[in-house]
Amino acid sequence: MAIGATTDQQITATTAIGRNQSKLTIAAWMRRPTSGSRQNCGFLTGNWHGLVHFSDNNIYFVFSPVAGNNNWGRCAADITGWNHFAHVYDGTKTGNARVEGYLNGTSSITLYSGTAPAATTVDNANAEAFSIGRDSVNNTWSSGDFAEVAIWQEALTAQDVNSLSKGVSPANVRPDSLKLYIPGVRNIIDYKANLTLTNTNTTVANHPRVYA
């Protein structure tokens, strides 16, 4: 089962786990029902850090160091159904090598806008606004479903991300660095840190099996 979202449906939480980090990874399974629909997940109040499969059929791996800056890595992906997405940020690297975007376990960014900073933001409370289902900057809501949403204070390796895309549970990938884990199975709970989640009218639907 998975979190299902349509207009005016979202999961929200307030958390500082994405603030002032030199390494951060967001990963999730997202189901896109139709071409041209939208799916959003991450710290997207102010375009801080997250995953956006936009209506222009591109995936945006957002990494804005200043609120409102439209910085991203992008790849074209006019795909539907369940797919695995991961946004890996490593501020210890140089320039836009700091950002990797993965689709189904494969590094996929083909174009960048802006330059990735050396650390995530510390200067705005919006950087603590986590959501599944809404991109408040563009005021866009998601359609489709979400499952196995997770955040690590670590830059996952390509092997780590590939494992997730094959169905390995986030709980079994770099568990010491895992800070948020929302499987979306039968209920809406953060199993890692018991983060308080606000559920606005979301539902449940089938999602891919997790193997380990």
Q: What is the pLDDT of residue 133?
A: 86
Cβ partners under 8 Å of residue 28, min gap 6: 41, 51, 84, 85, 132, 146, 147, 148, 149, 150
Question: Would you say residue 8 has pLDDT above 70?
Answer: no
On whether the pTM is more than 0.85, the answer is yes
Decide: 107 and 158 in contact? Cβ < 8 Å: yes
Q: What is the CATH number of the domain that holds 53?
A: 2.60.120.200
pLDDT greater than 60 at residue 123: yes
Single out the residue of 138, 71, 132, 75 nearest to residue 107, CA to CA. 75
User: Please, what is the average pLDDT of the chain?
Assistant: 87
- Residue 115, pLDDT score: 86
pLDDT in tens, 198-210: 888 766 656 666 6
> How many distinct structural domains can be found in the chain?
1
Measured CA to CA, the distance from residue 84 to residue 169 in angstroms comes to 12
Range of the domain at 81: 2-205
Taking the chain, what is the end-to-end CA distance rounded to the nearest angstrom? 16
Give tens-digit pLDDT for 147-197: 999 999 999 999 999 999 999 999 999 999 999 999 987 778 888 888 888
Q: What are phi and psi of 88, to 5 degrees?
A: -110, 125
Among the listed residues 197, 111, 146, the one whose alpha carbon sits nearest the alpha carbon of residue 26: 146
The pLDDT confidence band at residue 7, using thresholds 50, 70 and 90, is: low
**Which of 77, 92, 88, 80 lies closest to 32 in space, CA to CA?**
80
Average pLDDT over residues 30-34: 93
Q: What is the pLDDT of residue 141?
A: 78
Question: Residue 194 has what pLDDT?
Answer: 84
Given a cut of 70, whether residue 28 has pLDDT beyond it is yes
Query: Does residue 177 form part of some domain?
Result: yes
pLDDT for the residue 116: 87
Q: Is residue 131 a part of any domain in this protein?
A: yes
pLDDT digits (tens, 9 = 90+) for 52-89: 999 999 999 998 766 666 789 999 999 999 999 999 99
- Is there a domain that residue 16 lies in? yes
Helices (H), 86-149: none
**Does residue 211 fall inside a structural domain?**
no
Residue 110 included in any domain: yes
**More confident position, 187 or 13:** 13
- 139 domain residue, yes or no: yes
Cα separation, 170 vs 173, in Å, equals 5
Domain for residue 210, yes or no? no
pLDDT at 153: 97
| List of E strands, 49-165 | 49-53, 58-62, 72-76, 81-90, 99-103, 106-107, 111-113, 129-132, 134-135, 140-141, 144-152
The confidence score (pLDDT) of residue 1 equals 36
The answer to whether residue 75 is domain-embedded is yes
